[in-house]
Structure 1
């Protein structure tokens, strides 16, 4: 009986999650007339290829540029952020220094601060640094990830035995070489898990881009779609662009989760009782 209840709840949760995506997939196949003339979950004349061609050719292919910007912000920023988090968490776990736990508590305090609260101070700092309306305006803030540092310390405690590091030091390896050759490979599941979280956050970072960017050629895809959606009342032809663009924007996240989910699952058990 309990299994039936649990499976039923999981099925309801799956339906609730997939319902908007299903509507988006169906709506992206419709032409402009069927988009308003048919029910939301009813297929019209399938016109997905024409919608994609129109999307990628519109305004000299600005959507492809937005998509490339999102890939740049998410992949480069997340990779650099994950490496910094892994190195920092490794240091917090394996080294003893004065004020370590107090400093780590300060890092954990950063997890409690909502990102929207610090957008104005970050904008003022970016203005002073002269990086507003540049790629650096989104890449530099992405390097700081307090939650990633916490996860990296947990991964380091669960995956990197102190005995292995001591053996490397006895063999004459320096601290940097020990981390690069031993610690970092052992922390690969943790690195990929932090990368997955960072990638998702960067890909969905709408408010930061809205505050920092004015040049539409620097927009990530979510901000570009928002700008298109804001003019749909005056120009209804943008509806098809927004819907098809939203479907395309979801695909990279799905691909990343499918490719990296095995690292995520293994990372969730780090530090568990064996």
Structure 2
């Protein structure tokens, strides 16, 4: 009786065939190492230097007096550490007008950026979850509004507000800030993926109204996108310069951007006092709230930007 060679015998019933040599060969393979691009690393380093160098220059020169600011190297400290003296002088100079500018900026941000975020959230959610006639026309209008720069609308906005008698008032800054086409587009696209239709249908079957469904179910799901839009609007309103420049004449309503520009222009006027150290210190104080906002809301911001990038 012929016997089957050991290498060709069938495995016993209930046992898996041996794949020892194959496993050994797979385990012995080396994973391909990731290639490091020297060009990409160099470009990233250049961008890092380009981003951080102005901040380093601002932080260093905010510690100098007016005389040391003009006599010392820009990227190194002067003789005396005058940061705290400069901060105190910034808040007390010209009867403490810097504090008024800071409060004005906070007013424009809370009313303008906060209102723009609220309107963008409500409109974006409605456009994403409800169908109505003319929805495609609205989408085309939103995309067209995103493509138009704000500076192109500044002069027409000024003429319109001048006819209504709203120039040189806070409304001339707050009302235009309420319109955020880019924020509306972001919330529109985010709400389309973040809030499943099945959840809304289940809530409606259970008898929940649309407002209650939005506040109790949809709003928590929209929070990452809402925070992202809020950050964009806060930065845009906080750094707004051209619109307040043409809308406001009373220094009492200036935001920080226009007010610091006026301090910087004093050295060019006849008899004006040069306060470059206060301008630099004020600029450093101006960016501190923005940095704090980004650090505190970073996790929401990152998740909001990444939403919709992975499709399961």
**TM-score band w.r.t. shorter chain:** over 0.9
* Selected match of 1:259 from 296, 302, 307: 296
Match of 2:277 in 1: 240
Find the aligned partners of 1:256 and 1:135 in 2 and give their Cα distance. Answer: 24
Deviation at 1:71, TM superposition (A): 1.3
Deviation at 1:230, TM superposition (A): 1.2
Deviation at 1:75, TM superposition (A): 2.5
Find the aligned partners of 2:223 and 2:58 in 1 and give their Cα distance. Answer: 35
Match of 1:171 in 2: 206
Structure 1 gaps of 5+ residues are: none
Match of 1:8 in 2: 42
Q: Is the 8 A contact 1:157 1:271 kept in 2?
A: no
Find the aligned partners of 2:207 and 2:273 in 1 and give their Cα distance. Answer: 68
Deviation track 1:115-145 (CA, whole Å, cap 9, x = no partner) reads 1111111112212332211111111111111
Q: Is the 8 A contact 2:113 2:178 kept in 1?
A: yes
Deviation track 1:25-64 (CA, whole Å, cap 9, x = no partner) reads 1111001111111111121111111111111101111001
Q: Which has the higher helix share?
A: 1
Q: Is the 8 A contact 1:23 1:40 kept in 2?
A: yes
Find the aligned partners of 1:8 and 1:118 in 2 and give their Cα distance. Answer: 39
* Selected match of 1:214 from 249, 257, 282: 249
Find the aligned partners of 2:117 and 2:162 in 1 and give their Cα distance. Answer: 26
Find the aligned partners of 2:148 and 2:118 in 1 and give their Cα distance. Answer: 22
Find the aligned partners of 2:142 and 2:122 in 1 and give their Cα distance. Answer: 14
Query: Greater CA deviation, 172-181 or 77-86?
Result: 172-181
Deviation at 1:8, TM superposition (A): 3.3
Deviation track 1:180-222 (CA, whole Å, cap 9, x = no partner) reads 2222221011110000000000011100000111110110001
Whose Rg is larger? 2
Find the aligned partners of 2:280 and 2:182 in 1 and give their Cα distance. Answer: 33
Match of 1:124 in 2: 159
Find the aligned partners of 2:112 and 2:56 in 1 and give their Cα distance. Answer: 31
* Selected match of 1:87 from 122, 128, 134: 122
Q: RCO higher in 1 or 2 (8 Å CA, sep ≥ 6)?
A: 1
Q: 2:144 aligns to what SS in structure 1? A: helix
Match of 1:144 in 2: 179
* Selected match of 1:205 from 240, 243, 256: 240
Q: Is the 8 A contact 1:85 1:148 kept in 2?
A: yes
Deviation track 1:70-104 (CA, whole Å, cap 9, x = no partner) reads 11111221111111101111111111101101111
Deviation at 1:7, TM superposition (A): 3.3
Match of 2:51 in 1: 17
TM-score by length of structure 2 reads 0.85
How many residues were matched structurally? 274
Q: Is the 8 A contact 2:195 2:222 kept in 1?
A: yes
Find the aligned partners of 2:139 and 2:268 in 1 and give their Cα distance. Answer: 49
Q: 1:230 aligns to what SS in structure 2? A: helix
- Check if 1:193 corresponds to 2:228: yes
